[in-house]
Amino acid sequence: MAMAHVIRSEWTKIRSVASTVWTLSAALVVTVALGMLISALTRREFDSMSPRDRLTLDPTFISFAGMSLGQLAMIVFGVLVVSNEYSTGMIRTSLAAVPRRATFLFGKITVATALALVVGMATSFLAFFLGQAVLGPHGARLGDPGVLRAVVGGGLYMTLIAMFSMGIAAMLRSPMLSLGVLMPFFFLISNILGNVSATKKIGRFLPDQAGSRILQVVPGAADDTPYGPWGGLGIMVLWVAAALIGGYALLKQRDA
Amino acid sequence: MSTPQPPQAPPAWPATPDSRTPGYTSPIPVVRTHLGHAIASEWTKIRSVRSTMWTLGVFVLLVIGIGLGTGALVASSSSDLGGESPLALGFFGLLLGSMCVITLGVLTTASEYGTGMIRTTMTACPSRGRVLAAKAIVFFLVAFVVTLVAASVVALAQASMLENHGARVPTGSEWFKGTVGVSLFIALLGLLSLVIGSIVRHSAGAITIMIGLLLAPLVIALFMFAESLSKVRTGLLEYSIPNQLSVFYSNSLTSSGPTGWDPLWIALGVTAVAFAGAFVLLEKRDV
Amino acid sequence: MIEAVGLTKRYGDKTAVYNLSFQVRPGTVTGFLGPNGSGKSTTMRMILGLDNPTSGQVTIGGFPYRKLPNAPRQVGALLDAKAVHGGRAARNHLLCLAQLSGIPARRVDEVLGVVGLQDVARRRSKGFSLGMGQRLGIAAALLGDPQVLLFDEPVNGLDPEGILWVRNLMKSLAAEGRTVFVSSHLMSEMALTADHLIVIGRGQLLADMSVRDFISANSADFARVRTPDTEPQQREKLSSALTEAGGHVLPEQDGALRVTGLPLPRISDIAHASDVRLWELSPHQASLEEAYMRMTQGAVDYRSTIDQRAGLMQPLPPGYQPPIPVPGQGQPGWYAPPPPQPGGQPFVMPGQPGQVPAGPYGAPAAPAAPGAGGPNPYAQPASEDRAPAGPAAPAQPPASPAPAADLTKPEDAR
């Protein structure tokens, strides 16, 4: 069976379930709305900021404020795309139709990733433009140094988060278990490890901590991260690759 | 064991039986059911699935593991707690563990919709409110007892580990808040998840909503750098669930905001409102 | 005793059940028939108070389900064998239901014995086969030893032994004076189990009568008459003679004639009088299945079409003969010899005026003749080649194909 057929069939699957629409639109709406909200608050308060705050103000990053919550929906999307096959028993039908499991898994992930990339990019650009519009005179322009990188990076970041979740879900199979692992990981463990001084050195190599470096245009004052924006994204890509390979290895050897 | 349809007298029913005559009377006595029956049923349900064991097992592991871990870390380092209450170290384990309670709460209601079991349940008990109430009671008690045990173990261990590290001896009311108080709060948080699960009817969706609720205020506050935004920011921080939890250990992130037992009343109010909403929806919607 | 009055359910702008009124009496097994999507399950759900009717009401023993005191002791239901939490052991599943209605726990072991699941009682129902799941669902329905029982497709997935068991169970339950309401697709099963039938189509009542009445009202016992294939004009001649004598003649796909309204000896006499030889003169009696198929013809929502593989086929290699289509596939009215007399159709589909009455002459009734492949475009070129070989192919009389083709189209087009 050719990859193209698998991809077409996965595309049909993915667009015909409600959870795809729900999660992806939630990711977009939450990210953009929250970014606009924070941008509006920042603009209102700009005049009363201290000069130091004004200098380190990163308008691009502020418009991405919603991404930290919007990625929650991306995680759910990634998890459900893969684990729905298991929870509905569809996996048996799917693997009967596509016995080559690598073709099946990577066909599915390709389609879901492409969709996540489109939505992620749209979210990132929309969040940026609307956020900057709200910020008004304090906003950044796409032509400013580093800004385009950050905006494109935002779309890539959301896509990679979804891919990482797909890999984890392929390993764990159960949607509840996957969410139960991913959510505390991204929202508590990673944040705690990344912000507590003792563990900061390890924490910043976690996928979301490293990947979100690309969103910043104006680095913080006390920035001593050992990697640049693209380096951070590279670290995240390694995490994603590890998760996907793990997912494939398990899918290949176990019974459906 | 007698068979349920004992060979009875040959049916003497006329070809067109009178529709008014009750056709068959069961030999098993019919009792008037009440909430107690539903509670017994929900207790059977919650103890007979593995997800309960898993979520609660991981919960206890997290609370006790992280609690003892931080306790040992502080005890082995030379740092001095400087007159802090040693109970506060239980906070991290409980915060992480609350995810498990949230998951169990959501699954208690939403998994019935996922599996279709809800139709069987609602056929066996047409008073839908009673089922929801029974679920809430059983879940709340389970979550409360398990949290209380785990939190007490951690509190006792930490208090004894850190006695010689500058921690002060907690007062009776601190003990009470650090064990019973947090347990009530965590159980209420789980109860809110259960109610959200009943409203949303989708496990993953409900868990996402609850986690968003848990984290959104912190995330939003994180981006409010500006000094003048500090009012909104502190407000968000103060009323975020993690901070409300820490209030029970009297080490809130901020000096203002909820104090004492306030978080419990807030959680109680929110849960009550959500419960009423879920109740109305349950009665009104098709199963 | 279940009583529905003007029961109506709409989901959005789709009407699932419309103005349904019927009674289900104790002491008999009442069958509930209807094509897929005709509203059977919705009706069952409304009986059980799971869905609220948009209008009308349904009561059990005079009460709406949700007002019944201790409902599970009065009504037991198998709605969906999959409506269990797969992670829970069979016994615990039944135990929690028993506790909910105050039934002693030893009753759980009783019903597990009744359905034959005692050996797997402590296994999680996730690993159950379809038949085992069905038995678990039946156990749940029997748990309260109720006087009213509802079963939605109870024999789904059961093996022949299980089907026999369910059949006898239903009968014995009814014989004890209980009200037993069973939906099923298996007509042969219904014919053996049910005493009374309620038939719905597109959410509306089509019939409410005993099985015997149903068959006789809807069956079209007919005679199949075959004239020599080699002399088509004899067929014409006999057709007109029979019609003149008051019979109704319907050409079949393979060239035979389907005659109604005339007894067999009379047909023989007419043939003899018009000097037509007969190759076949056979009586044909309708089954419940045929009666049902004819009645619900206009009420089927999901009709199969012929698998034409249109546009997906490679050009046929020379000499290749496509497989002969199985007669009946995708042909509306395949089962249903239409009622000959306009008055013979007691149930005209509401909202479908003309549909069913039109059916009679439109049904390209294709009995088990292998050559019947008219509507399949891929079969045509080849079957033309083969035509002389098959006994049936050339026999389309000039008059009949047109209506046959015309009238099937609207049904397919729906």
C199-208 pLDDT, tens per residue? 888 888 988 9
Do B45 and C176 lie within an 8 Å CB cutoff? Answer: no
CB contact under 8 A, B99 and A188: yes
Q: How many Å is the Cα radius of gyration of chain B? A: 25
Q: Which CATH architecture has domain C2-217?
A: 3-Layer(aba) Sandwich (3.40)
Residue B24, min C-alpha distance to chain C (Å): 5
Nearest to B223 among A62, A188, A192 (CB): A62
Instruction: Spell out the residues 6+ positions from residue B107 whose beta carbon is closer than 8 angstroms to its own.
Output: A176, B51, B55, B197, B203
Domain ranges of chain B: 35-284
Mean per-residue pLDDT for B208-226?
78
Comparing B17 with A152, which gets the higher pLDDT?
A152
Q: Which SS3 state, helix, strand or coil, does residue B68 take?
A: helix
A65/B223 Cβ within 8 A: yes
Please check the confidence at residue C388 and state whether its pLDDT lies above 50.
Answer: no
The residue among C90 and C231 whose pLDDT is bigger is C90
Nearest to A71 by CA among A163, A185, A158, A188: A158
Question: Could B123 and C72 be called an inter-chain contact, meaning their C-beta atoms sit closer than 8 Å?
Answer: yes
- Of the candidates A181, A154, A195, the one whose C-alpha atom is nearest the C-alpha of residue A31 is A154
Average pLDDT over residues C341-361: 40
Buried-exposed string C1-10: b where 16+ CB fall within 10 A, e elsewhere: bbbbeebbbe
pLDDT value of residue C362: 38
pTM of the model: 0.76
Q: What are the residue ranges of CATH 3.40.50.300 in chain C?
A: 2-217
Contact C78, C41 (CB under 8 A): no
Which pair of tokens denotes residue C286? 């309708």
Q: Which among C86, C100, C179 is the nearest to B124, CB-wise? A: C100
pLDDT above 60 for C341: no
Average pLDDT over residues C167-193: 89
Sign of the dihedral through C-alpha B252, B254, B259, B260: positive
Mean pLDDT of B54-63: 93
Is A48's CB within 8 Å of B226's CB?
Answer: yes
- Lowest average pLDDT, out of C155-169, C274-288, C330-344, goes to C330-344
Residue B232 at interface with chain A, using a CB cutoff of 8 Å: yes
> Shortest CB distance from C147 goes to which of B14, B22, B131?
B22
Residue A192 touches chain B, beta carbons under 8 Å: yes
Q: Does A79 touch chain B (CB under 8 A)?
A: yes
A39-59 per-position pLDDT tens digit: 888 887 777 777 777 777 788
Residues 6+ apart with CB under 8 A from C291: C214, C215, C217, C218, C219
Whether the CB of A179 is below 8 Å from some CB of chain B: the reply is yes
Task: Please check whether residue A74 touches B, CB under 8 A.
Answer: no
For residue C219, the model assigns a pLDDT of 64
Selected for mutation to probe chain A from B228, B233, B234 (highest A CB count within 10 Å) is: B228
Question: Does A232 have pLDDT greater than 70?
Answer: yes
Yes or no, beta carbons of B204 and A76 under 8 Å apart: yes
Q: For residue B19, list chain C residues with Cβ-Cβ distance below 8 A.
A: 1, 23, 25-26
Kindly report which listed range (A127-131, A141-145, B274-278, C142-146) carries the lowest average pLDDT score. Answer: A141-145
pLDDT value at residue C344: 40
Q: Which of C80, C95, C147 sits opposite B24 (nearest CB)?
A: C147
Report the greatest alpha carbon distance in chain C. 78
Residue located via tokens 């988060």: A161
pLDDT beyond 90 at C338: no
> Of the given ranges (A93-102, A187-196, A227-236), which has the lowest mean pLDDT?
A187-196
Q: Strand C204-210 relative to strand C248-251: parallel, antiparallel, unpaired? A: unpaired
Tell me the chain C residues in contact with residue B42 when contact means C-beta distances shorter than 8 Å: 96
Indicate the SS3 state at residue C258: strand
- And the tokens for C229? 């294939």
Q: Tell me the pLDDT tens digit for each residue of C206-247.
A: 889 888 888 777 766 788 888 888 888 888 888 888 888 888
Residue of C nearest to B284 (CA): C52
C347 band by pLDDT with thresholds 50, 70 and 90: very low
Number of Cβ within 10 Å of residue B249's Cβ equals 23
**Binning pLDDT at 50, 70 and 90, where does residue B185 land?**
very high
Going by pLDDT thresholds of 50, 70 and 90, the confidence category of residue C335 is very low
Tell whether the torsion through CA atoms of C344, C346, C347 and C352 is positive or negative.
positive
Mutate to test the interface with B, among A45, A67, A196 (most CBs of B within 10 A): A45
For residue C113, the tally of other CB atoms under 10 A from its CB is 16
- CA C283 from chain center: how many Å? 23
Are A69 and B51 an interchain contact pair (Cβ–Cβ within 8 Å)? no
> Are C177 and B117 inside 8 Å of each other by CB?
no
| Tokens 């069956």, located at residue | C219
Q: How many residues does chain C have?
A: 414
Under DSSP, the state recorded for B285 is: S
Distant-in-sequence, close-in-space partners of C235: CB < 8 Å, separation ≥ 6? C227, C255, C257, C395, C397
DSSP A61-107: HHHTTTHHHHHHHHHHHHHHHHHHHHHHSHHHHHHHH---HHHHHHH
Chain A positions touching B114 (Cβ under 8 A) are 87
Q: How far is B267 from chain C (nearest CA, A)?
A: 30
Judge whether residue C331 has pLDDT over 50.
no
Under the banding of pLDDT at 50, 70 and 90, the label for residue C367 is: very low
Give the bridge partners for C196, in sequence order.
C30, C210
pLDDT attached to residue B110: 93
Nearest to C114 among B4, B40, B112 (CB): B4
B26·C73 Cβ contact <8 A? yes
Q: Is the pLDDT of residue B215 over 70?
A: yes
- For residue B215, give the chain A residue with the closest CA: A187
Cβ–Cβ under 8 Å, residues C177 and C167 = no
CA nearest neighbour of A61 among A42, A83, A84? A42
Average pLDDT, chain C: 76
Inter-chain CB proximity B99 and A76 less than 8 Å = no
Residue of B nearest to C114 (CA): B3
Q: Which residue from C48, C84, C110 is facing B1, i.e. has the nearest CB?
A: C110
Q: Cβ–Cβ of C100/B38 closer than 8 Å?
A: yes
Q: Does A127 touch chain B (CB under 8 A)?
A: no
Q: How confident is the model at residue A100 (pLDDT cuts 50, 70, 90)?
A: confident
- To test the contact with chain B by mutation, choose from C66, C67, C99, C178 the residue with the greatest count of B C-beta atoms within 10 A, namely C99
**Ramachandran angles phi, psi of C296, nearest 5°:** -90, 5
The whole-number average pLDDT for the span A214-226 is: 72
pLDDT class of B79 with cuts at 50, 70, 90? low
